[in-house]
Structure 1
Amino acid sequence: MSRLAASVVIPTRGGAARLPVLLATLAAQETDDFEVVPVVDGDIDGSEEVLRSWADRLNLKPVIFPENRGRAAALNAGAAAAAGRIIIRCDDDLEPRSDFIAGHVARHSTQRCGVVGLTTNALPDTAYARAYGRKANARAIAGALALPAKRTWRLWSANVSVPAAVHSRLGGYDGRYRRYGWEDVDFGYRLHRAGFPIVVAPELIAVHHGASTTTAVRAVRALHSGAARETFLALHGQAALREFDGARSARKPGLWDRSGLWDRVVTTSSTFTTERTLRAYGAAADSAASWLPAALAEKLIALAVESAGIAGVRYPRRARGMF
């Protein structure tokens, strides 16, 4: 029997409510030359039972962890179980198009590369979304599409694909990343360093239903992402971080002590930032954003997000949760 064209690896934790949306779109794909490898990273909400209910509609190959091991471990277990020529990573909160799998496979037909499909956030109509979330999403997509080829590795994330042989050659994702994010950036960097081009495929963009919906959630994620950055720095050094940041300098003493008033406010705020203060401030900012002028509401939310990111870099132990 010929090898399947693709394996869709889905890392999931607490995804029982999210998985049906994704699985329905996978069941409606234009091709059936693929398998689905969901990896339940410790079942806390009946996700395994949800997967069982889809067994007659998809070629499912579930992997169930008895406890939380982290996203890197889940992605690696999915890749190890995969039989497809191309491994497509698809996070459990995405809603891809009907040509999602065929499109990823087609991108690999002409060159040996990594493919980034990007995501666009589906946000409810809230004060947070109106003041900050939608604008941030638009800026992120525009920035991604404008990146030069040598820096597209930094986009490696929730909707990506790579030949199985290349994934194996790189050794998969690094399990030392247990805070929010950067295990994917690390993989993209190593792919880039190994000489494989990373192609952005805007036609494969998928709707992202798991985006931050409040200031507190967005800021806490920024705190954890800033903390996870420390692992990347420890593994790859300042030069890699400068390459990630582009024109900005990598983290070093004095990085955030810039001359602008906004930067000074953000830097000062970061010294007091913890998960607890972010949740309290976030709730207040969302409440105020419903009646403040749009520009001021955006600044209030941006203060929380930017301060949290800096606090994660400077005080990584303040990011207390694990992912």
Structure 2
Amino acid sequence: MPSLSVVIPTHRRANILKLCLKYLEMQTMADELEVIVVSDGPDAETAALFHGSAPLALPPVTYLEIPKSQQGVARNAGVKRATAPFVLFIGDDILLEQNACERHLAAHRSQTYSSPTAVLGFTTWDPVVEITPVMRWLEKSGWQFGYLQIRKYSHTFLPKKIQERFTYTSNISVPTDEARKFKFREDMTLYGWEDIEWGMRMKQAGIRLYYEPDATALHHHHMRLEDSLIRAEELGRSLTKLAQVNSDFRRKLAGWRLVIRRFRMMLPTMEGKHHRALLHGIQSATKNS
């Protein structure tokens, strides 16, 4: 039986996925892994990676296709096939450092905490891609990844009151039994927030979040300002939709509206532009609901 199942949702990014798999092949514990790739919608180019000979010598890879849904549904499908006691969620553009899987597993095995534990690894931009000003801002501001805010919690548990904000599914592992119990919502059709909502439910059930910064991953993704603003607008739409079915997110939506009003005078700044895009997404979703 493998020690760790790595679940990777993907959507029409065969070239990047191939690189992601190569980094898994270089893991120090590759012979203890199983990899489950779930294609969110059929894609011939992605499927071709798995036809004929195995894509990797180690670890073994299982490939699944599901009807086009969203990444949360794809993760749930992957967890169903997992056979290891722990499951690691990453993205198809995530390149794990050689000992990342080993560090995740060691963190789980070292815990004496009475309740189940999720382990968050560290993710930063891959220096191979051209790192743009907006990418630097996204990392520094916490708009996409807020690791600077939790440096003081390295190798320990995050405070419960903030932990769901950091349940980043680019590099997080959980006991497989808990991943089966706490599935990602499957009624979310838009991008964003499904990982935070998932983290909220785990926190309410008493699952703690441990930060292991030595489980490092590189995010192999180039982003321009216009790409980031499109993403922010989609986050606004998905936040509005989620607020309709989740009271915690109704409060979050009200809070965002207050924050956005304060930043209207700062629209020329990077932060102001992103708040403006988020507001546009909120207004668009509200109008169409």
TM above 0.5, yes or no, is yes
What is the letter of the counterpart of residue 193 of structure 1?
Q
Structure number with larger C-alpha Rg? 1
Tell me the equivalent position of 1:87.
87
Task: State which of 142, 152, 159 in structure 1 corresponds to 2:148.
Answer: 142
Superposed counterparts of 1:18-33, under 5 Å? 18-31=16-29, 32-33=31-32
Question: Aligned partners of 1:318, 1:125: CA distance in 2, in Å?
Answer: 37
Q: CA deviation at 1:45?
A: 5.3
- Per the alignment, in what secondary structure is the counterpart of residue 246 of structure 2? helix
What is the letter of the counterpart of residue 207 of structure 1?
L
- Per the alignment, in what secondary structure is the counterpart of residue 305 of structure 1? helix
Question: Aligned partners of 2:5, 2:287: CA distance in 1, in Å?
Answer: 37
Question: Aligned partners of 1:115, 1:45: CA distance in 2, in Å?
Answer: 34
Residues 145, 234 of structure 1: CA spacing in aligned structure 2 closer, same or farther, 3 A cutoff?
farther
Tell me the equivalent position of 2:172.
160
Tell me the equivalent position of 1:227.
237
**1:308 and 2:281 are equivalent in the alignment:** no
Contact 2:21–2:56 at 8 Å: present in 1 too?
A: no
Contact 1:223–1:312 at 8 Å: present in 2 too?
A: yes
Q: CA deviation at 1:300?
A: 4.9
Question: Aligned partners of 2:44, 2:269: CA distance in 1, in Å?
Answer: 35
- Per the alignment, in what secondary structure is the counterpart of residue 39 of structure 1? strand
**1:237 and 2:241 are equivalent in the alignment:** no
Q: CA deviation at 1:50?
A: 1.6
Note the alpha carbon deviations across 1:291-323, whole angstroms, 9 max, x for none: xxxxxxxx454443221112222322689xxxx
Task: State which of 190, 204, 220 in structure 1 corresponds to 2:215.
Answer: 204
Q: CA deviation at 1:81?
A: 0.8
Q: CA deviation at 1:69?
A: 1.6
Superposed counterparts of 1:36-185, under 5 Å? 36-44=35-43, 46-52=45-51, 54-65=55-66, 67-109=67-109, 110=111, 111=113, 112-122=116-126, 124-125=129-130, 129=132, 131-140=133-142, 141-145=147-151, 148-150=158-160, 151-157=162-168, 158-170=170-182, 172-185=183-196
Question: Aligned partners of 1:165, 1:182: CA distance in 2, in Å?
Answer: 22
What is the letter of the counterpart of residue 120 of structure 1?
T
Residues 255, 303 of structure 1: CA spacing in aligned structure 2 closer, same or farther, 3 A cutoff?
closer
- Per the alignment, in what secondary structure is the counterpart of residue 255 of structure 2? coil
Question: Aligned partners of 2:265, 2:140: CA distance in 1, in Å?
Answer: 26
Which structure is higher in strand share? 2
- Per the alignment, in what secondary structure is the counterpart of residue 14 of structure 2? coil
Question: Aligned partners of 1:188, 1:134: CA distance in 2, in Å?
Answer: 26
What is the letter of the counterpart of residue 104 of structure 1?
H
Q: CA deviation at 1:87?
A: 0.7
Tell me the equivalent position of 1:263.
264
Question: Aligned partners of 2:62, 2:287: CA distance in 1, in Å?
Answer: 37
Question: Aligned partners of 2:213, 2:283: CA distance in 1, in Å?
Answer: 34
Contact 1:71–1:178 at 8 Å: present in 2 too?
A: no
Gaps of 5+ in 2: none
Q: CA deviation at 1:47?
A: 0.6
Q: CA deviation at 1:192?
A: 0.6
Contact 2:25–2:56 at 8 Å: present in 1 too?
A: no
Q: CA deviation at 1:223?
A: 0.8
Q: CA deviation at 1:255?
A: 5.5
Tell me the equivalent position of 1:188.
199
Amino-acid identity (%):
21
Contact 2:39–2:65 at 8 Å: present in 1 too?
A: yes
User: What is the TM-score when the length of structure 1 is the normalising length?
Assistant: 0.76
Question: Aligned partners of 1:241, 1:181: CA distance in 2, in Å?
Answer: 15
Q: CA deviation at 1:146?
A: 5.4
